[in-house]
Amino acid sequence: MNKKTRDLTLSALLSAFSVVVLYVTSFWPTGQYGFVAIASLFVAAAVIDIGMVNGIYVFVVSSVLGMLIVPDKASPLLFILFFGYYPIVKSLIEKIGNVFLQWILKLLVFNAALTVMWFLFREMLLGFSEGIPGILIVYILGNVIFVVYDYGYSKVIRFYAERVSRYTSGR
């Protein structure tokens, strides 16, 4: 099989898996954030196995199909607003040698996304009341959870790259 055909096929498969996981949130809404994070792993797999451009294709296709197919639009919106593109951004940021700068950029990206989500999903963000105390709690907890998420996500990506990727990438 030629490389372009293999890359296209793998991109389509990873997009389909991502949409299926997003669809699961319609039946299991309590795991919404977790499933949306899992759906983003397919974007990360595309970035690792077939490159950044194909990772972007998987993100875009998964986002569009998620919005068209998934009955509850909150999950595809979370995917579009943060989780789906984060593996791409993370990959680009982690190419920078300075770890301190990496964390500043990651936190800036997260807080920008959180700000957009705050205005779109205010009630969904833990049900905090509006006002300074509620916003501060959301941002403080959000940043702590994000740091833990990023650390765990890095571990999962490293596992995939070292143990699984060699079987899917044709190397």
pTM above 0.75, yes or no: yes
**In terms of C-beta density within 10 A (0-12 exposed, 13-18 middle, 19 or more buried), how is residue 62 classed?**
buried
Res. 169: pLDDT tops 90: no
What are the pLDDT digits (tens) for 35-79? 999 999 999 999 999 999 999 999 999 999 999 999 988 899 999
Res. 168: pLDDT tops 80: no
What are the pLDDT digits (tens) for 76-135? 999 999 999 999 999 999 999 899 999 999 999 999 999 888 777 766 555 555 666 777
- Quote the domain boundaries for residue 104: 3-168
Cα(67)–Cα(65) distance, integer angstroms: 5
Q: In the chain, how many domains are there?
A: 1
Locus of tokens 């049900």? 127
Cα(103)–Cα(89) distance, integer angstroms: 12
CATH of the domain at 30: 1.10.1760
Q: Which amino acid is at 89?
A: V
What is the per-residue pLDDT for 18? 97
Q: Got the DSSP string for 38-83?
A: HHHHHHHHHHHHH-HHHHHHHHHHHHHHHHHH-SSTHHHHHIIIII
